[in-house]
Chain A
Amino acid sequence: MTQWIVLADTDGETVLSSTLSAIGFAQQFAPNNFSLLIIGGSTSADSQELWRQYGAKKLLIVSLPELAHPTADKVAPVVAKAMQTEGASWLVGPASSFGRDLLPRVAGLLDLPMLSEIIHAERDEAGFLFQRPAYAGNLLETYRPVANRGVLSIRTSAFQAETTATQSPVETLNLAPSELPTSTRWIGQEKSDQKRPDLSAARVVVSGGRPLKDAATFERLIGGLADRLGGAVGATRAAVDSGIAPNELQIGQTGRVVAPDLYIAVGISGSVQHLAGMKDSKVIVAINNDPNAPIFEVADYGLVADLYKAVPELLEKL
Chain B
Amino acid sequence: MKILVSVKRVPDPYAKVRLTPQGALDTVGLSWTMNPFDAIALEEALRLREKGVATEITVVSIGGPETEETLRMALAMGADRALCVLEERPPDPQRVSHLLAAIYHREQPQLILMGKQATDDDSNQVGQRLAALLQLPQATFASSVRVASDGQTVQVTREVDSGREILELTLPAVITADLRLNEPRYVALPAILKARSKPLLRLPGSELVPLSSPGFLLVKRETPPPRKPGRKVQNVEELITALREEAKVLPNKHA
Contact = CB atoms under 8 A, between A and B. Distances in A.
Interface string A255-294: 0100001100000000111000001001111000000000
A140 B161 contact: no
A140 to B, nearest CB: 5
Contact of B97 (A101, A108, A140): A108
A133 interface: yes
A246 B159 CA distance: 10
A178 interface: no
A115 to B, nearest CB: 6
A248 B16 contact: no
B123 interface: yes
Interface string A65-76: 000000111001
A229 B250 CA distance: 8
Given A145-B215, A183-B137, A111 B163 contact: no
A110 B250 CA distance: 47
Interface stretch (B67-75, B104-112, B193-201, B234-242): B234-242
A279 B226 CA distance: 10
A240 interface: yes
Interface string B121-133: 1111111111111
Interface string A104-115: 111111011111
B162 interface: yes
A113 B163 contact: no
Contact of B227 (A105, A191, A241, A298): A298
B146 to A, nearest CB: 11
Interface string A187-204: 111111000000010001
Contacts of B250: 229, 262, 318
A272 B16 contact: yes
Interface stretch (A23-31, A92-100, A158-166, A168-176): A92-100
B138 A139 contact: no
Contact of B19 (A103, A112, A139, A147): A139
Contacts of A112: 94, 215
A304 B240 contact: no
B132 A143 contact: no
Given A184-B170, A254-B116, 7 more contacts: A111-B94, A116-B125, A139-B222, A141-B221, A184-B169, A189-B165, A305-B236
A314 B137 CA distance: 49
B136 A186 contact: no
A207 to B, nearest CB: 15
A316 to B, nearest CB: 9
B215 A146 contact: yes
Interface residues of A, number: 91
Given A184-B168, A248-B160, A302 B233 contact: yes
B236 A192 contact: no
A241 B243 contact: no
Contacts of A188: 165-166
A11 interface: yes
Contacts of A141: 218, 220-221
Contacts of A190: 163-164
A136 interface: yes
Given A113-B216, A248-B162, A303-B235, A138 B223 contact: yes
A301 B233 contact: yes
B232 A302 contact: yes
A136 B232 contact: no
A301 B138 contact: no
A205 to B, nearest CB: 12
